């Protein structure tokens, strides 16, 4: 089913690439150095990031190739064509739950950082409620305004994130990144889960492709969309690890922000760089949240053929209260680990299996 009722125009390759990149940016940029440092334990975390990013690019291409075999259809549509209506419906429900969990995790991480660094005296329940109100307001407009906003914000946020991180070079120590492969390649491979998890969001190509002007460019869009976060994450890891060392990073909750707080630029008229960073980061959290929230509603809309706005409203209390289910920050991080494992299934295993089944069932189908 082509979703003409929800979308008024097709997206360009650049818009889809911006959408993928903006969806990837999220909690990972502030949690990646700590989680990767704990998992790997050596200065080689940047190598693991490159490996993880490369794997995600390969999986992104698999997702794009799958979509190209079913032009004009989203994952919710063609999953039923490939596996049958029953299994397709189960996959739709599971993917909706996955989207809700991603949205819940991003919402909680945003609330925790805002409370810790910006609004210490403001109840977390209030900041979360306001964040969701603004998000749902955008979601109600449909995917077109969402993608337009992602395209508008990505250049600004990317430049700001890159510049702010580069300002931390003054405290950078190259020795903190040495020695290379001191314990061999095994720690690098062991940390692939922690370095690949921050790339959650590239699976949105499973939906964006259906609304592209030229779906054959989906692979190009997803590669560019993943490459941009790889560069930002790589810069972040190098600066944070090079400034603090791996051992210090493992002891900090938000090492990225702590590095930015330590920036001192002689003669600068602006010194609170962490405020600038957090502001931009909240914007990226917002974009990630609205995309996954919308996709969750879209799945239920296509499954039950009910107006999508009902699910936009209905998921509001669900996501809001789920975000407070973790009783503390450690449990919130555990939720992030769960989301990471689910991403391996929904962004990796399932698209690959569907693509194989599709070729076996209809190998002559033309990709467009």
- Written as six digits, the tokens of 182 are 């001191």
Mean pLDDT for the chain? 87
* 204: pLDDT strictly greater than 60: yes
Q: Which residues contact 79 (CB under 8 A, 6 or more apart)?
A: 87, 88, 91, 92, 354
DSSP 212: B
Domain 14-359 matching CATH 1.10.420.10: the answer reads no
- Whole-number pLDDT of residue 153: 87
What is the distance of C-alpha 266 from the center of its chain? Answer: 35
Average pLDDT over residues 239-252: 87
Going from N- to C-terminal start, the domains of the chain cover 14-359
Q: How far is 88 from 100, CA to CA, in rounded Å?
A: 18
Nearest to 236 by CA among 258, 264, 268: 258
C-alpha distances (whole Å) from 183 to each of 53, 178, 187, 362 are 22, 12, 7, 47
Over pLDDT 90: what percentage of the chain? 41
* 173: pLDDT strictly greater than 90: no
- Written as six digits, the tokens of 279 are 């502001």
* 3: pLDDT strictly greater than 60: no
Q: How far is 269 from 172, CA to CA, in rounded Å?
A: 22
* 134: pLDDT strictly greater than 80: yes
* 32: pLDDT strictly greater than 70: yes
Listed range (181-185, 199-203, 267-271) with the worst mean pLDDT: 267-271
* 254: pLDDT strictly greater than 50: yes
Q: How far is 249 from 255, CA to CA, in rounded Å?
A: 6
pLDDT digits (tens, 9 = 90+) for 47-101: 889 999 999 999 999 999 999 999 889 999 999 999 989 999 999 999 999 999 9
Neighbours of 34 (CB within 10 A): 20
* 1: pLDDT strictly greater than 70: no
- Written as six digits, the tokens of 245 are 């060392």
* 267: pLDDT strictly greater than 80: no
Q: How far is 98 from 290, CA to CA, in rounded Å?
A: 14
- Whole-number pLDDT of residue 10: 85
Q: How far is 78 from 99, CA to CA, in rounded Å?
A: 18
Q: How far is 38 from 247, CA to CA, in rounded Å?
A: 9
The SS3 assignment for 11 reads strand
DSSP 12: P
pLDDT digits (tens, 9 = 90+) for 285-341: 899 999 999 999 999 999 988 899 999 999 999 999 999 999 888 898 889 889 989
- Whole-number pLDDT of residue 181: 79
DSSP 367: P
What is the distance of C-alpha 346 from the center of its chain? Answer: 13
Q: How far is 94 from 87, CA to CA, in rounded Å?
A: 10
* 4: pLDDT strictly greater than 50: no
One-letter-per-residue 3-state SS of 108-159 = HHHHHHHHHHCCCCCCHHHHHHHHHHHHHHHHCCCHHHHHHHHHHHHHHHHH
Q: How far is 314 from 297, CA to CA, in rounded Å?
A: 9
Using 50, 70 and 90 to split pLDDT, how confident is the model at 140? very high
- Whole-number pLDDT of residue 364: 57
The model carries a pTM of 0.91
DSSP 60-121: HHHHHHHHHTSTT--HHHHHHHHH-HHHHHHHHHHHHHHHHHHHHHHHHHHHHHHHHHT-TT
- Whole-number pLDDT of residue 2: 42
Q: Which residues contact 24 (CB under 8 A, 6 or more apart)?
A: 198, 199, 200, 201, 202, 225, 226, 229, 288
Reduced to 3 DSSP states, what percent helix, strand and coil does the chain have, rounded to the nearest 5?
75, 0, 20
Q: How far is 288 from 286, CA to CA, in rounded Å?
A: 5
Using 50, 70 and 90 to split pLDDT, how confident is the model at 5? very low
Is 283:153 a contact under the CB 8 Å cutoff?
A: yes
* 269: pLDDT strictly greater than 70: no
* 114: pLDDT strictly greater than 70: yes
Is 7:72 a contact under the CB 8 Å cutoff?
A: no
* 103: pLDDT strictly greater than 90: yes
């Amino acid at each position: 089913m082509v979703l003409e009722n929800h979308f008024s125009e097709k997206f360009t390759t650049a818009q889809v690439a911006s959408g993928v990149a903006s969806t990837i940016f999220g909690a990972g940029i502030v949690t990646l150095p700590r989680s990767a440092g704990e998992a790997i334990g050596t200065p080689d975390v940047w190598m693991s990031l490159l490996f993880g990013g490369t794997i995600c690019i390969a999986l992104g291409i698999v997702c794009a190739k799958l979509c190209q075999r079913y032009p004009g259809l989203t994952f919710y549509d063609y999953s039923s064509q490939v596996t049958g209506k029953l299994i397709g419906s189960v996959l739709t429900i599971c993917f909706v739950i996955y989207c809700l969990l991603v949205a819940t995790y991003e919402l909680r991480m945003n609330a925790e950082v805002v409370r810790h660094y910006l609004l210490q005296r403001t109840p977390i329940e209030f900041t979360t409620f306001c964040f969701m109100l603004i998000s749902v307001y955008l979601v109600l407009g449909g995917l077109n305004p969402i993608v337009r906003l992602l395209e508008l914000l990505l250049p600004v946020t990317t430049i700001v994130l890159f510049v702010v991180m580069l300002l931390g070079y003054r405290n950078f120590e190259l020795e903190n990144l040495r020695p290379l492969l001191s314990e061999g390649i095994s720690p690098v491979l062991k940390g692939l889960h922690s370095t690949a998890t921050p790339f959650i969001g590239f699976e949105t190509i499973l939906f964006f492709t259906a609304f592209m002007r030229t779906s054959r460019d989906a692979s190009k869009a997803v590669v560019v969309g993943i490459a941009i976060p790889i560069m930002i994450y790589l810069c972040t890891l190098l600066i944070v690890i090079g400034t603090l060392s791996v051992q210090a990073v493992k002891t900090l909750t938000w090492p990225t922000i702590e590095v930015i707080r330590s920036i001192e630029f002689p003669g600068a008229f602006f010194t609170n760089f962490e405020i600038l960073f957090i502001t931009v980061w909240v914007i990226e959290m917002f974009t990630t949240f609205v995309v996954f929230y919308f996709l969750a509603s879209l799945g239920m809309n296509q499954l039950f053929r009910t107006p999508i706005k009902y699910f936009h409203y209905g998921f509001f209390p669900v996501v809001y209260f789920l975000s407070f289910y973790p009783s503390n920050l450690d449990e919130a991080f555990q939720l992030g680990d769960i989301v990471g494992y689910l991403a391996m299934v929904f962004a990796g295993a399932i698209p690959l299996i569907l693509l194989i089944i599709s070729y076996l069932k209809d190998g002559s189908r033309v990709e467009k």
